[in-house]
Each structure stands twice: as structure tokens, then as C-alpha cells.
Amino acid sequence: MIDTLKEIILDLQEVDFKTGTTRRVSITPVSGKATVCIGVRRCGKSTYMFQHMLKLLDSGVARQNILYLNFFDDRLRALRHDNLGVILEAYFTLYPEKKNTEKIYCFFDEIQDIPGWEPFVDRVMRTENCEVYITGSSARMLSREIASQMRGRALSWEMFPFSFREFLDSREIDSAGPLSSKKRLTIQKAFESYWQSGGFPEVTELDRMLRIRIHQEYWGAMLFRDLIERHGISHPKAVTDLAHWLVDNTASLYSVNSLTGYLKSLGHKASKPAISNYLDWFEDAYVLFTVRIFDASLKRANVNPKKIYCIDHGLVTSVSSGILTNSGHLLENLVFTALRRTTPDIFYYRTKSGQEVDFVCKRSDGSRMLVQVCESMSDPQTKKREVSALADAMRELSLPHGTIVTRGESDRIAVDAGTIETTPAWRFLLDLDDGV
């Protein structure tokens, strides 16, 4: 194993880093703590690590002082059975003069499925002169259990597929400052491309058929590697059937009872606890997200129906049947993922009169915002319904502002509780990135 590790370590010395688009993610290394970057597979975590490696090289760090291992490399599968300490043994066999004299920068990509990685990283942080960077596709790496095993020596950060502003960056479209009419039209045109492709970096410039094919490969890998294989699921067909039902019903309500009945109708014998586990595992892998009703009582929130969203609206388009998913659902999913980049504290709201508002979420400053999603407000009855629901929620929650996100309409509506801003999706996404 040591010889294999030495070969892999040396391979890096000859590789050109593929750094791609600079991400607008504020990941700040802290002395004495491992930097953990987590998110769905193929969202750009490894590329972000390469970007940081390049910064190190530009700052004068020697290339030999960078140790990079990708644990999806088949050559490293034997590490599941070996002591992870052989990693540093192999490195210092190559560079014995660096031990305890020079700082080593360790990058461990997708390490979460290797047993015993937490105490290994903890030991490295305690005993070696190094900085450690880790990527993974499991939200368990945010958990208290991990923090306990690493004795507080880790800070975790989330990464998602491209935001709209990052998508603009990838096309070298300037989105900063006041918008001239030309810049606005350029951004609006780019939004239509983002609407079609979604945010996974690899597919943003591909034609439709190739994009669909790659999205479907992502989807298969997410289900197999991040759910079925990771959790040792004995009935994988039940999981894949459930996943397809959920993505077909993006932005719709569900209950565990209804999901149990659906799988039973397909001949699966999945229990309610098993389905609850599957739902937790979907979220753990950053594939599908559950949104609960906003309620001070956790018990009431758990017994009410929940809503389901996918990590990327472009992925939904590529893997769903298209029978139940419509453009309104996709727009709502797009808004959810934009909000989820800023906070995990997202709920839907039901007014006392039974009207529904799509999102109530917490801003970084602790205040709450109400967001309704409506593809078009051109129909008077639709406008009346959406405004009424949002106005009631504003009054009940004592919030003076509400937002309705549309495909292209802008307006400002005065209601008894305050002001409702109707804004096109492209503008909402840019404003959200600016912290508005």
C-alpha cells in the first residue's frame, strides 16, 4: 500500500490543477482546525480545493509540500482495511527532510466513507506541522458526533452547484454595480441559459442531450454511491423508485404515510421507519431536501405534510418523467436552492385561513423573510390569491416586507401589513447573493 500511495502522491507533482471558475464561497481556514468542505457530488468541491492549492503555490509554497489524495481513486480502496497512518508514512518516506521542519498542506478528497478517518485527521492535526482540508458529500460531516470525534479540530462549510452569479462569472458576465440596459439584457439572456442548464459546473456549456445524459449519470451515482452503497440498503429498487417519485413531485407536499402507500402499490415492503431513514439519507447526501411547516411546536411540524425539493432545478428537468413537474414547480425549486445556499432554516407557512406561503426563512442577521413564488401574476385571480396569502402571513408574523418571485414581472404592492415586492427571478437571485 505504501508503494501505491507514493505513486499517487508523486502523480500530483506532475498534474496541472483544473481550477475552473472562482467560487463565491467564503471558506476561511482557521489555525489548528481542519477545513471541511461538504456538498453534493460534482458541485465543484474538488475544483475549489485545486483553486486553494494554486493560491498556495502562488504564495510560495513548494509543490512537494502539498499532499493530495482523492479517496474515490480505486487504488485507495485497500485503505478501508489498513491503518490510515500509512498515508503520512508514505509521504515522509518520499520527503523525510520535511518532517517537523516544514508545514505540509494535506487535501483529502471524499474521505467520508473511509472508516476511522476522524481520529486519523485528529491525530494529524495534533502531531504534525500541517494544515488539513477535507471534502465530502455527506452532511454527517456537520454533525456533533464528528465534532466530538475530532475534539473540536474541524470547521465545516457547505458548497452547492453554481449560484446564478457564479454562473455569470463562468461566462465572464459582469453582474456588479448598477445595470445599464445592455448589461441587464445580457444578464436576462444568461438567466434563460441558467434556467435550462441548472448549476452543476460541468454541464453549463453543454447541449441539451449531452447535459441530460450527464445529469442522469450524476443521479445514478448519487443514488448508488451516496445512498445504497454508503448505507448498505438491502432493497435498492425501493430507494430508486422513491427517489424518482420525489423528484417527479418537486415542490409538492408529501407525507410518510403517502410514500409508504405508494411503495406498497409497487410491491415494496418498506416500513415507515425505513422510508424516514431514506428521506434523511437523501438530505444527508445533498440530493433531496425536506421543508417542514413553520410552527413553534416541533410535534405539529412533524405531523403536518412536508415539501420536497431537489439540489438543482436542471437536474430535475433531466431525471424526472416530466408528467407532474411543471415550470412553476421548477421556479419554486430554483428559489429554494438559492435560499438554501444562505441558510438551512427554511419552512413553508400556512396562514390561519389556510393559505400557503412557499418560504419563511432566516436571514444571516437573524431576521425572517417571506417569499412567495408565482410564475406569472398576469391573471387577476392569481395575483389576488398570492398577494392575499403573503399579506396574511406578513400580518401574522409581524413582518413589514414580503417578496413574490416571478419569471419576469416587477411591481410594488402596498398592503395593510406593509409592502410586497414582486421581482423577476434573475433579479431576486442577484439580490440574494448581495445579502439583500
Task: Give the CATH number for residue 385.
Answer: 3.40.1350
Domain boundary among 325, 353, 383: 325
Residue 185 in any domain: the answer is no
State how far Cα 345 lies from the chain centre: 14
Please report, for the domain that includes residue 260, its CATH number.
1.10.10.10
Query: Which secondary structure element, helix H or strand E, spans residue 393, and what is its range?
Result: helix 380-397
Residue 312's contacts (CB-CB under 8 Å, 6 or more residues apart) are 40, 161, 198, 199, 200, 337
Find the domain containing 376 and state its range: 326-436
Alpha helices in 162-270 (DSSP H): 164-170, 181-197, 208-223, 230-231, 236-248, 256-265
Please report, for the domain that includes residue 145, its CATH number.
3.40.50.300
Number of domains present in the structure of the chain = 3
Domain boundary among 273, 291, 325: 325
Does one domain contain both 275 and 355?
A: no
Does one domain contain both 242 and 263?
A: yes
Q: What residue type is 380 in one-letter code? A: P
Q: Checking DSSP bridges between strand 401-406 and strand 368-373, what pairing results, if any?
A: parallel
pTM to 2 decimal places: 0.94
CA atoms within 13 A on the CB side of 48: 30
Does one domain contain both 417 and 302?
A: no
Q: What are phi and psi of 404, to 5 degrees?
A: -115, 120
Does one domain contain both 243 and 155?
A: no
pLDDT in tens, the chain (436 residues): 889 999 999 988 888 888 889 999 878 888 888 999 999 999 999 999 999 999 999 999 999 999 999 988 888 887 766 688 899 999 999 999 999 999 999 999 988 878 888 888 888 988 999 999 999 888 877 665 565 666 677 888 899 999 999 999 999 999 988 899 999 999 999 999 999 999 999 999 999 999 999 999 999 999 999 999 999 998 899 999 999 999 999 999 999 999 999 999 999 999 999 999 999 999 999 999 999 999 988 888 888 999 999 999 999 999 998 776 789 999 999 999 999 999 999 999 999 999 999 999 998 888 999 999 999 999 999 999 999 999 999 999 999 999 999 999 999 999 999 999 999 999 999 999 875 4
Contact 393, 357 (CB under 8 A): yes
